[in-house]
Structure 1
Amino acid sequence: MAKRVDIISDTHGWLSDALLAQLEGADLIIHAGDITSETDYEHLKTIAPVRAVLGNNDYYRDYGRDVGRILRFTYEGLRFVVAHYHSDLLLDEADVAVCGHTHRAQITEEAGCLVVNPGSPTFPRGARGATMARLMVDEGRVLSAEILDLER
């Protein structure tokens, strides 16, 4: 059965109602850093399991020992690597790589790896506006990958 992976980054201490509504029903939430709120991190964990990394504004926060600079894990047969900075992604070790920091949403393929930057639901840069990303995955395959536009 396909699983829904919702990907966010750069929330910077504010989870909008539009973002929270989209996250409902996720099987997994990936946060690519700059959460900047222990309370927000705990709130996200009430919606779905969360895999998160530290962003450049998170180093004085305490999210627990599971949240570090780079994260590698396997989910539904896919190898994921997550880092706040694109330059820290280990593309040769992953099927899906997730980064943030730029506040600009983009899904690309690099070196045979799907690279997802969900943008920012809080402080977007560029004309697109507030965004997040969503993957549907099943048995080692990415069935779909899309950027979702959010109201602010």
Structure 2
Amino acid sequence: MKKILLLSDTHSYIDDRILTYATKADEVWHAGDIGNLKITDKLAEVARVRAVYGNIDDEKIRKEFPLNNRFFCEEVDVLITHIGGYPKKYNARIREELKRNPPKLYICGHSHILKVMHDKQFDLLHMNPGACGKHGFHQVRTMLRFEIDKKEIKNLEVIELGKR
């Protein structure tokens, strides 16, 4: 079983609250707009980090992390990207990938809007953790925490970190 902390859109911001949750996770997944490699470096001090770059990320971050990150966690096929959309409104690039080979868990960031929903068309779970940084239009900083146990995604929690 793996405990996952999912976050996005830090925009170069990290605080002790984020790090406290990261210390309780086996892995931290970042869905882009990292802002500065110091963010992922700090997270990597306490947990394994898997990430993708976002539209604001510079060449250093783009060399460190991919546009899409596809992997298995336990027995769950995971796809993370930054700009991807959500069920019935996917980005064209992602829609083609989902048609060709849908994962069980699809994650994106970018919108700063927390959203978790099942996509019946592709039989996948879509997650967007919102934004945990202080830059953007979101009012409340959010992350997601959940567990993956073999093929099961369970114990999903929304973490609110307060006003930006």
Instruction: Establish whether residue 118 from structure 1 lines up as the match of residue 129 from structure 2.
Output: yes
Residue of structure 2 equivalent to 1:79: 77
Q: Does the 8 A contact of 2:32 with 2:54 survive in 1?
A: yes
5 Å-filtered alignment, 1:1-152, equals: 2-62=1-61, 64-65=63-64, 67-86=65-84, 87=91, 88-89=93-94, 90-91=97-98, 92-110=101-119, 111-123=122-134, 125-127=137-139, 129-151=140-162
TM-score, normalisation: structure 1:
0.89
User: Structure 2 CA distance, aligned partners of 1:26 and 1:45?
Assistant: 11
Q: Does the 8 A contact of 2:131 with 2:138 survive in 1?
A: no
Aligned residue-pair number: 149
User: Structure 2 CA distance, aligned partners of 1:140 and 1:121?
Assistant: 28
User: Structure 2 CA distance, aligned partners of 1:84 and 1:131?
Assistant: 16
**What percent of counterpart residues are identical?**
28
User: Structure 2 CA distance, aligned partners of 1:126 and 1:13?
Assistant: 16
Q: Does the 8 A contact of 1:76 with 1:137 survive in 2?
A: yes
Q: Does the 8 A contact of 1:106 with 1:116 survive in 2?
A: yes
User: Structure 1 CA distance, aligned partners of 2:77 and 2:6?
Assistant: 15
Q: CA RMSD in A?
A: 1.8
Max Rg structure: 2
User: Structure 1 CA distance, aligned partners of 2:138 and 2:45?
Assistant: 31
After the TM superposition, which parts of structure 1 deviate over 4 Å for at least 4 consecutive aligned residues?
none
Q: Does the 8 A contact of 2:117 with 2:125 survive in 1?
A: yes
User: Structure 2 CA distance, aligned partners of 1:13 and 1:139?
Assistant: 33
Q: Does the 8 A contact of 1:82 with 1:98 survive in 2?
A: yes
TM-score, normalisation: structure 2:
0.83
Q: Does the 8 A contact of 1:34 with 1:54 survive in 2?
A: yes
| Deviation for aligned residue 1:19 | 1.3
- Structure 1: 5+ residue runs without aligned partners? none
Question: CA offsets, 1:88-127, max 9 Å, x none?
Answer: 5444421111100011111011121111100011136445
User: Structure 2 CA distance, aligned partners of 1:104 and 1:125?
Assistant: 9
- Structure 2: 5+ residue runs without aligned partners? 85-90
